Structure 1
């Protein structure tokens, strides 16, 4: 899985916060635009996200409606796993992370491990 660029991340934020599928014009209208964006730019970004399997699209008349393929948390977990495995040293990276984790991160990891053991 490839990561997200700045505009792709903003588009995904819009889709993750949406309660229903959105068309390109809906996404464009909801984007916080520090600079003006063209409709075709947003359409291209959505097409790229579809190609990367971040979004699903369904035909609605002559246009597509887009939804996030996975939750923000699921995408984050996959991206972390991609980084972890791209290192070639999974065990070393995990051990280094565990040693450098903040107390809050350590608590989260312990809870997750306990939850996994009880399943």
Structure 2
């Protein structure tokens, strides 16, 4: 009964986690040798992903400011302007911006960090403060 559940219906493909498809699209754009069209991205992602889905993800990434697009004929050529860590940072800021008590959220976040991550965060904040003094 490979490929079927007990009711005889074919198994559904695994759903991607929230943001997983955006990360995959961004990774492919970062591997691209030059600005590429949505069809190029669709081919590299495989798995029967619809062209319209790729366009939707590219457009969302453009709105978030992590990809740029330039007119190329009747469509666009797309280029990554951020990496996956930049996309994750945007997500974190979006969550923080949605909360009324930023201080409480940040305090809870910092106190929940493992010691090594807390130390890293402190070092990054100190380095950013030093850059601001220059």
Map Cα deviations across residues 46-78 of structure 1 (whole Å, 9 max, x no partner): 344435544321122333211124333333222
Residues 100 and 5 (structure 1 numbering): CA distance in 2 closer, same or farther, change over 3 Å?
closer
Counterpart of 1:104? 116
What corresponds to 2:25 in structure 1? 11
1:115 is the counterpart of 2:115: no
* 1:68-83 equivalent positions in 2, closer than 5 A: 68-83=80-95
Equivalent-residue separation in structure 2 for 1:90 and 1:41 (angstroms): 34
For the Cα contact (< 8 Å) 1:16–1:72, is it kept in 2?
A: no
In structure 2, how many angstroms separate the alpha carbons of the residues matched to 1:86 and 1:97?
A: 15
Distance 1:91 1:21, change over 3 A: same
| Larger CA deviation: 97-106 vs 56-65 | 56-65
If the length of structure 2 is used for normalisation, what is the TM-score?
0.68
Following superposition, the deviation at residue 118 of structure 1 comes to 1.8
Stretches of structure 2 that go unaligned for 5 or more consecutive residues are 1-17
- For the structure 1 residues 90 and 64, does the alpha-carbon distance in structure 2 shift closer, same or farther, using more than 3 Å as the test? same
Q: CA deviation at 1:19?
A: 3.5
* Greater gyration radius: 2
CA 1:88–1:20 in structure 2 vs 1: closer, same or farther (change >3 Å)?
same
